[in-house]
Chains A and B, each alone.
Chain A
Amino acid sequence: MWSNAARNDWILLAGFSLVVLCLPLILEPIGAAYPALMQKFCIFGIFAIGFNILFGLTGYLSFGHAAFLGVGSYAAVWSFKLLTMNAIPAIVFAIVCAAVFALVIGYVSLKRSGIYFSILTLAFAQMSYNLAYSVLTPLTNGETGLQLSLQDPRIIDALFVAPQAGLPRVNLFGLHTSGGGYAGFYLCAAALIVCFFIALRIFRSPFGLMLRAIKSNQTRMRYTGFNTRPYLLAAFVISGMYAGLAGGLMAVTDPLVGAERMQWTASGEVVLMTILGGAGTLVGPVLGAAVIKYFENIFSSFSATTLQGVFGFLPDVIERPLVSFLSLFVGDGWNLTLGVVFMLIVIFLPGGLMEGLRRIWSLFGRRPGGGDKVPAAQTQLAE
């Protein structure tokens, strides 16, 4: 039975990798097969997988994870400015910086639980945002945002290659990862697969089991002989590192970072992605991230004129109010749509899209009496 479970995990990993690597083919029909968008799916997928390790396993809801995303981006850009345009050191530096940040913020925030924990993380993230926006201008270049410049030292690069005219591009051993090419997408896709694999291992590990037990009954854990604080802190730091990696990849694919990346709306977005996809499941958060980023891409590009085009066949009396109503939900109003969808999901499908898929699966796939019923606890693990 255990080896069976292990085999299923390998199948899951293989299937996931296949889907991610074939995204350009899969997304072709819905017109989303361009690298700049697909790498966004991967980056936010990583962010959400990491967030889910904290929220899905322990139930601790952080409202400040964008801070680690921002720290990762800033760290990566500094690595480009000071050391080299190679992506690897930038990514490593991003993860390390985010880990240090997460250690400090997590240490303090985890002194409380529930809503107080959420508020503390939110406060820290907002502080980080304000620091980045104004106080730490020398480090973050404030409002303008941190970007590359011709005067950057880039000590390692300077040793090996003669500076060329114009700004250098981020590279991974010769491949250009910035600028929306396939190299950037495949780098992000590879990172996503590795992240998914690590998350899978964590879910199946004793550590993951302890986190789930903490979520279920933390008091009991203490009387069972566990020091729960280091478990929670470890989960917090790991999810912070995932966020740092996501932030680092954002910089690798586009070496420019502003403070708004740390704003609370960005922290809220990863909460939405995780819950929309299905908190506590392995695939859910990635799915949630992809769905949100895809529809954001579509809806925010719509405008009143596009709508007029769509509803042009209607008589004017109907068309005008309809278009002006619907245009509330597109373009800059995309967040309104997101809010409505989110409310519907939470009310009708509390387990997120994964639960929806499971329901559809049980409608079509298995007839009652099929004899392969899986107990609820195991189903949850198996996702």
Chain B
Amino acid sequence: MTARNVVLHVADVHKRFGGLHALADVDLQVEEGTTHAIIGPNGAGKSTLLNVCIGRLAPDTGAVVFDGQVITGKQPHEINQMGVVRVFQTPEIFSDLNLLQNVMVPAFAKRDGAFRLNAMRSVATRTDIRDEALHCLEEVGLLGQKDAVAGSLSRGDKRRLELAMGLVQKPRLLLLDEPTAGMSRHDTNSTIDLLKKFKGRGMTKVIIEHDMHVVFSLADRVTVLAQGRIIAEGSPDEVRGNARVQEAYLGGAHP
């Protein structure tokens, strides 16, 4: 592989919760335009790693570098404005708003920045934002329900909605935490297709997934995390054949 630009560098990150070493010595590099999967058993620290990346948790030691800039210690909204967007494991949506509004809100963040006091103009006049939002809803297949209240959606649909909320921001780095959990096989496949489409557009993605079908369909590189440590990293085929990985998934891992 030619040396590509490293977009995300998680440098020697440690994170403890009391006695629990949730992340130990994690060093990870994600190259521009690739899809990087992170797999590992429950409680391995995968979500914690993403939390560190988006500023939800501060690492005990180490730092996260995005596009040459240290983002550790920055506010969550600053990190988002730089182009790092996360889709959460348990859907985080605006339950009281309708689907269209749910997608328009992040589109406003992208267009108008972290704060803008535009109190006298009507949302209705922002057709640019409305069209972007409608387009993203169409891509995830929720256009027909655009006026429904988001809280009333099924779990799988909430995930698709959140995906649309992430995609509408056209992020440089999209962090996906189990985007297909709770989805039907059919919806999982259409999500895979959708994510493949965005790959062509140069978006870098980090994807946490338990579903190996998804991992092997999408990932260029796979990192395996177990008990807070990276136990293997390589191409999907390399990782599949790795004995330590199978051990970590089958029995308890002893790194």
Which residue numbers of A lie inside 8 Å of B, CB to CB? 2-3, 5-6, 198, 201-202, 204-210, 212-213, 215-217, 219-228, 230-231, 234, 238, 375-378
CB atoms of A375 and B98 under 8 A apart: yes
CB atoms of A204 and B122 under 8 A apart: yes
Inter-chain CA distance A228–B109, complex, in Å, is: 11
Q: Add 20 more A-B contacts to A223-B77, A375-B148 (CB < 8 A).
A: A2-B124, A3-B124, A6-B124, A201-B119, A204-B123, A205-B121, A206-B116, A206-B123, A212-B97, A213-B97, A213-B105, A220-B92, A222-B80, A223-B86, A225-B109, A227-B75, A376-B149, A377-B147, A377-B149, A378-B147
Q: Mark B2-19, 1 if CB is under 8 A from A, else 0.
A: 000000000000000000
Q: Which residues of A contact B155 (CB under 8 A)?
A: none
Q: Which residues of B contact A228 (CB under 8 A)?
A: 77
CB atoms of B105 and A205 under 8 A apart: no
Q: Identify which of B96, B98, B101 gathers the most chain A CB atoms within 10 Å of its CB.
A: B96
Inter-chain CA distance A202–B121, complex, in Å, is: 8
Q: Which listed residue (B93, B114, B117, B149) contacts A225, Cβ 8 A? A: B114
CB atoms of B124 and A204 under 8 A apart: yes
* Least distance between A277 CB and chain B CB atoms (Å): 19
Given known A206-B112, A223-B76, A377-B149, contact A6–B122 (CB-CB < 8 A): yes
CB atoms of B81 and A205 under 8 A apart: no
CB atoms of A207 and B122 under 8 A apart: no
Inter-chain CA distance A238–B119, complex, in Å, is: 11
Q: Which residues of A contact B56 (CB under 8 A)?
A: 223
Given known A217-B93, A227-B75, contact A201–B101 (CB-CB < 8 A): no
* Least distance between B218 CB and chain A CB atoms (Å): 23
- The residue of chain B having its C-beta at the shortest distance from the C-beta of A5 within the complex is B124
- The residue of chain B having its C-beta at the shortest distance from the C-beta of A227 within the complex is B114
CB atoms of A202 and B75 under 8 A apart: no
Given known A224-B106, A226-B109, contact A377–B97 (CB-CB < 8 A): yes
CB atoms of A216 and B96 under 8 A apart: yes
Q: Identify which of A216, A223, A231 gathers the most chain B CB atoms within 10 Å of its CB.
A: A223
Inter-chain CA distance A225–B56, complex, in Å, is: 13
Inter-chain CA distance A205–B129, complex, in Å, is: 13
- The residue of chain A having its C-beta at the shortest distance from the C-beta of B130 within the complex is A2
Interface membership of B108, Cβ < 8 A: yes
Q: Which listed residue (B54, B110, B147) contacts A223, Cβ 8 A? A: B54
CB atoms of A375 and B149 under 8 A apart: yes
Residues of chain B in range 73-87 having any CB-CB distance to chain A below 8 Å:
75-77, 80-81, 86
CB atoms of A216 and B97 under 8 A apart: yes
* Least distance between A95 CB and chain B CB atoms (Å): 16
Residues of chain B in range 52-101 having any CB-CB distance to chain A below 8 Å:
54, 56, 75-77, 80-81, 86, 88, 92-98, 101
Inter-chain CA distance A205–B126, complex, in Å, is: 10
CB atoms of A231 and B115 under 8 A apart: yes
